[in-house]
Every structure is written in C-alpha cells, then in structure tokens.
Amino acid sequence: MASRQPSDTLRETGGIRDPEAARARILAAATAEFAAHGFAGARMDRIGQSATVAKGLLFHHFGNKEGLYRAVLERIYGALRRRQDECRLTRLGPVEGMRRLVVDTFRGFREMPEITALMNEENLHRGRHLREVAGVPMLYDTLFEAMEGLLKDGRDQGVFRGDVDPIGLYVAMSGLGYFYCANRWTLSAAFAGDLFQPERIADYEVLVGDMIIAYLRVKE
C-alpha cells in the first residue's frame, strides 16, 4: 500500500492548515466557474475540485452558493479598481490623468475577461446579488474623489468645462471599454474582423482617450 503524502492529507482536509490560501483558491475557481456557466449553471462540486478543497469548505467559508457568488462579485470589482490607481492619476494632471483612467479601465475589461462575463450575468439578475455586497460602493469613493479633483484642476487651469458629472463621466468611459470587450465576438463576426489584434487595440485606446478629453475640454 502506498504511503500517504502530506499533500494528500491537505487536499482531503480542504486546506484547513492554510485557510487563507484555501479561500483564495476557492475564489479563483469560483470566478472561473461562474464566468463560464453563470449563477444557475455553476456547480459547487466543480469549484471544490478545481480549488482542490473539500466541498464542505466552500460552505464553511461562504455559507451557500449565493454567498460564494457575492464574494466573487466583490473580488472582480476589486480587481478592476486596483488597476485604476487614483494616486497616479492625480500626479499626471487633469488631461493625462483622465486619459490614463480611460485606458486603464479598458485594459481591465480586456485583460480580465471574467469581469465582462460576470457583469453580463449579474445584469441578467438586475443587480440583485451585487446590491447585497456592501463593500463594492466603497471601492469607488476614492476614485470619484480623484476624478472630482482632476475635474477641478482642469477647470482651474481653464482646460475643462465646468458642468461635468463625474458619475456620468465614469459610466461613459466604462461603457467604451466594456462594450468593446463584451461584444468582441459579435462585432468581429459581423464586420470588424479580429478586434483583439494588438494594433486595433492600440488604436482604440487612443480613440477612447481622445473622445473623453474632447468632451471635457472647454469649447473654443
């Protein structure tokens, strides 16, 4: 009979020797599962197998499937926000700071396709699960403060108009990145070719940055 290895015991106990590592593996596996199959199609046993933990540990950490899904939503919104470094935006000044925010947001959607998949899924649920994630609105507090600072600096320098709503502005710049990535396949099939060719992506980053800055600039 083969001897038992320490890794075998760790797998069977669901990683309880390192609960934070196990929780991180669960969230990564669950993100992939919910993105691929949606909330209804996702299976807890597949998540446990992918995370190499006992299925019961999923319920221990997250209560139930809905609790795990909410944790995944918080994780992906946090991942997107970490790409939007408001300290760096402020250092760049109003024009380049806003342009950088547009590009960073687009890159977040492009480089983490699970974000668009899960946002699509949650919109099917009319945001019901996301409204129950208390931490997500707070993720945006510092970003909107930074945007308001950039808008003020732009007004003070005479380069930005004075009637800009930062929330509406962020919705617009997010939409420019989200739509491109969420509809990549249909747009490519219908008329656009491969939208994820590097040169197409580079051109689009310039385009969306120019669009937002053109809207913000004081009209001559």
Do residue 115 and residue 146 come from a single domain? yes
Can you give the pLDDT at residue 18? 85
CATH number at residue 57: 1.10.10.60
Q: Quote the domain boundaries for residue 92.
A: 76-216
Do residue 107 and residue 184 come from a single domain? yes
Angle at 4 between CA 2 and CA 10, to 5 degrees: 150
What pTM does this model have?
A: 0.87
What is the number of structural domains in the chain? 2
Per residue in 180-210, pLDDT (tens digit) is 999 999 999 999 999 999 999 999 999 999 9
Q: What are phi and psi of 160, to 5 degrees?
A: -115, 145
Assigned token pair, 155? 């007004």
Taking 50 as the pLDDT cut, the residues of the chain under it are 1-15
Residue at 3 is within a domain: no
Residue at 178 is within a domain: yes
Do residue 201 and residue 132 come from a single domain? yes
Can you give the pLDDT at residue 161? 96
Residue at 69 is within a domain: no
Q: Which of 41, 63, 85 is the last residue of a domain?
A: 63
CATH number at residue 130: 1.10.357.10
SS3 content of the chain, % helix, strand, coil (to 5): 75, 0, 20
Residue at 84 is within a domain: yes
Do residue 110 and residue 133 come from a single domain? yes
